[in-house]
Structures are given as C-alpha cells and as structure tokens.
A = this chain, B = another copy of it.
Amino acid sequence: MISTTSFFAPVDEDLKILTQNLRNLIGARHPILAAAAEHLFSAGGKRIRPAIVLLVSRATLGEAEPTSRHRRLAEITEMIHTASLVHDDVVDEAQLRRNVPTVNSLFDNKIAVLAGDFLFAQSSWYLANLDNLEVVKLLSEVIRDFAEGEIQQGINLFDTSLSIESYLEKSYYKTASLIANSAKAAGVLSEVPREVCEHLYHYGRELGLAFQIVDDILDFTSDTEVLGKPAGSDLISGNITAPALYAMAENPYLEVLIERGFSGEGDLEKALSIIKESQGIEKSRELALGYGKSAVTHLTCLPSSPSTQALIDLVQYNFGRIY
C-alpha cells in the first residue's frame, strides 16, 4: 500500500502546523473535549481534505507560503469533516473507525453529540471570521450537504430501488461537497479568476466522488484489519453502494437478500459472494476511473508546480488503493 505522505510532500510541514493548530483550537478549555480532540486529531487521519486545500493554496499562489487565512481554511475543513464523522458514528452506532474506538463508544453518545456540535460551532465561527462572504457561503453549503446526505442515506437503507444517480447524489453530499467547495474556497482566497475557481470546484467534486466509490469498493474487497471496521459493514447496515447496485442489476436474488435484511441463515455470506462474483466491483472501478480522469482535466488551468503535480498524483494514489 502506498503511503499518502509522498504525495503530500509540498505540504508536509503545513500539515504538521495544522495538526498542532487543531489541537490548540479545540483542546484548551475543556478536559473532556480535550480528550476527545486529542483522540480525534491523533487517530491516524490521513488529513486528505486539508492537504488538498493547502496544495490548491500553494498551486494558486505560485508555490508561495499559504497565508494565515488559507491555513485557517484548511483547519476549518478538517474540523467540519471531523464533526461530521463524530455525529455519523452516533447515528450509525459505529464502534470503530480507522481501527480506533469512536467517540460514542469511548465516551458516550452525549459527549459525541456535544463534541460534534462544538466542532461545527467552532468551525462556523472561524469561518465567519475569515471575513469573506463567498467562502462562508461555500462552506455553509457543505454543512447543509452533510446533513442532507446523512438523511438521504438514513431514508434509503435497505431500499433496493435506489438508483446509481441517487447513490452519486448522496456521495456528493457526504464526501465530494466538502472537497469541491473547500478547493474552490482556497482559489477564492487566492483571488484566482472565476473560471479557475470553477475548475477547482469540479476537480474536488470528481476526486471526491472517485474517493467515495473507491472506499465503497474497499468495503467489499479489504479485510477488517486494513479497513479498520468489519468488511461489508455498509451492506450489513443497509447502505447500498455502487458494487451492490451493479451486482443487483446482474443477479436479482441479491435484491431479495437485501430486502429481507439478511435475516435468513447465510444470507449475508451469500450476498457478499454474489457481489464478488459479479461485475459490480469492476464496473464500480470504471465509474471511479471516469471521475478520476475528469478530475485531472480540471487541473490544466493551474501552472505546473510541485503542488499541482501532487494534486494530480492524489488521483493516482486513490486508484492505487484498489489496483
């Protein structure tokens, strides 16, 4: 497995500063939150989202040092992402994330609700204080999309009539929106032309979708240890992702198994083997590849530089996870 570190070389130092700042921003005053923050911000997160913001910042600033507002944007991005994970884990009753106990399992639901609210609240305060109304709008859109995505996912559990379009819409809300809008926001702070901002948005959107699809593939192809949560856990909880959607079209018996919530003996094993034997994984790969290729085309508006190259390499890194 390829480490993300090499891709993030241009922003390695920036990410160290970010981690330190995040700890300082959250931890200072409340012992319980400090424990939760320490737990959250040292739990081996790959920091992909702030890394993208920092890479876009450098790429649009002619490789100059990111300003304090670019750095703050990267921090806000990670705070919003972390807040959404904390509340997701409450809603999904998840016990593990990245092999680390979730806040709700380590403390309890109350602390997890509070910690998530606190992170959302801090991030919206820091956001307002970036003093840029367009950036505020872009990121408040993200917060709204998170809530929308989580609700759509909740409503569609075990719904076998879900279309690939609805799956992609939900994936946009839950994953791509943050990457798209924060990449664009970094461009806005750098005051690049409007059309560059739009390309940055689309780079983030397509990359985000490709990331989500690859994650959804890995949920079927990886083992528990690599995944940091039980394999097939999305399907078990009724969250129907790309590989299952394609497999259902091929073998309608999968629909039956899902609709009865895997209540029969051996149902889950049967469902997982139907998916593995189908073209579902391969078709999902192709879907992700399409988004990845499209993401790269949106970077041609940037001057070549180590950071621009890193943004391109990130698309490759994503596919390295499944090839």
* B-binding residues in A (CB < 8 A): 30-33, 87, 90-91, 93, 109-110, 113-114, 116-118, 120-122, 124-125, 127-129, 131, 133, 136-137, 140-141, 143-144, 146-148, 150-151, 154-155
The CA of A30 and the CA of B120, in the complex, are separated in Å by: 23
B124 touches A154 (CB 8 A): no
A128 touches B136 (CB 8 A): yes
A125 touches B151 (CB 8 A): no
- From B110, B131, B136, B147, contact of A117 by CB (8 A): B147
Would you list 23 pairs from A and B whose C-beta atoms are within 8 A, ordered by A residue? A30-B155, A32-B155, A33-B151, A90-B110, A90-B113, A113-B113, A114-B147, A114-B150, A114-B154, A116-B117, A118-B147, A118-B148, A120-B120, A120-B143, A121-B143, A121-B144, A121-B146, A122-B147, A125-B141, A125-B143, A128-B136, A129-B137, A136-B136
Q: A33 contacts which chain B residues (CB < 8 A)?
A: 151
Number of identical monomers bound together in the oligomeric complex: 2
The CA of A221 and the CA of B74, in the complex, are separated in Å by: 50
A117 touches B87 (CB 8 A): yes
Q: A118 contacts which chain B residues (CB < 8 A)?
A: 147-148, 151
B114 touches A91 (CB 8 A): yes
A113 touches B125 (CB 8 A): no
Q: A155 contacts which chain B residues (CB < 8 A)?
A: 30-32
A147 touches B133 (CB 8 A): no
Q: A122 contacts which chain B residues (CB < 8 A)?
A: 144, 147
A143 touches B124 (CB 8 A): yes
